[in-house]
């Protein structure tokens, strides 16, 4: 089973599709978790969302689980980055880590984890949740064009690590 490890506040700050509200952290968390649960509830994967509780009084890591969705708040004096790297070291090649923090992505790459930028993940989440399919099973042309625009010229290959992460991601 593939495990998605997400940097929660990083995703909320990176959002530009109005999937989540940027201004209010509580509202942003709620909207993010609802969107993730709705999208992944019938998929064969585990989604772990890690939030910073760096400046709170938590002496232990707080976890809550709802089906395939696991929400983790770090303990006092621990950053989400540290916990994400720790989780990735346990999951190794079964994990895809989603963050825009270059330090995290560089560290988890050593463990053989797939990596994905937050912007790419949010675009995939946004488009897959909004994809319209008509009665004949054909995609709505407007949405199809926006996802796959007609391009001319040579194709530019993405880096190998990103291609591997995308291939793992497409299996869930």
Q: What pLDDT score was predicted for residue 95?
A: 93
Question: What are phi and psi for residue 32, nearest 5 degrees?
Answer: -60, -45
Q: pLDDT category, 60, cuts 50, 70, 90? A: confident
Q: What pLDDT score was predicted for residue 86?
A: 95
Q: In the predicted model, is pLDDT for residue 22 greater than 80?
A: no
Q: What pLDDT score was predicted for residue 125?
A: 84
Note the pLDDT tens digit of each residue in 132-160.
333 334 444 444 444 455 666 667 788 88
Which domains does the chain carry? 2-170 (3.40.50)
Q: pLDDT category, 130, cuts 50, 70, 90? A: low
When comparing pLDDT for 123 and 49, which is higher? 49
Q: What percent of the chain has pLDDT over 90?
A: 31
When comparing pLDDT for 132 and 111, which is higher? 111
Q: What pLDDT score was predicted for residue 16?
A: 56
Q: What angle do CA 74, 21, 171 make, to 5 degrees?
A: 70
The rounded mean pLDDT for the chain is 80
Q: What pairs with residue 49 in β-bridges?
A: 6, 71
Question: What are phi and psi for residue 136, nearest 5 degrees?
Answer: -95, 5
Whole-angstrom Cα distance, residue 83 to residue 119? 21
Note the pLDDT tens digit of each residue in 61-108.
888 898 899 999 998 888 899 999 999 999 988 999 999 999 999 999
Q: What pLDDT score was predicted for residue 163?
A: 83
Number of other residues whose CB lies within 10 A of the CB of residue 51: 21
């Amino acid at each position: 089973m593939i495990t998605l490890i997400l940097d929660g506040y990083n995703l909320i700050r990176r959002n530009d599709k109005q999937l989540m509200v940027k201004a209010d952290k509580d509202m942003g968390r709620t909207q993010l978790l609802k969107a993730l649960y709705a999208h992944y509830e019938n998929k064969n994967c585990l989604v772990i969302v890690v939030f910073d509780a760096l400046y709170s009084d938590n002496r232990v890591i707080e976890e809550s689980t709802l089906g395939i969705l696991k929400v983790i708040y770090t303990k006092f004096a621990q950053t989400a980055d540290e916990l994400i790297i720790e989780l990735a070291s346990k999951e190794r090649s079964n994990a895809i880590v989603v963050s825009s923090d270059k330090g995290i992505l560089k560290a988890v790459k050593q463990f053989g984890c797939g990596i994905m930028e937050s912007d790419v993940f949010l675009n995939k989440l946004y488009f897959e949740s909004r994809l319209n399919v008509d009665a004949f099973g054909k995609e709505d042309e407007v949405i199809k064009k926006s996802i796959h625009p007609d391009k001319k010229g040579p194709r530019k290959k993405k880096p190998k690590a990103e291609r591997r992460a995308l291939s793992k991601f497409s299996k869930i």
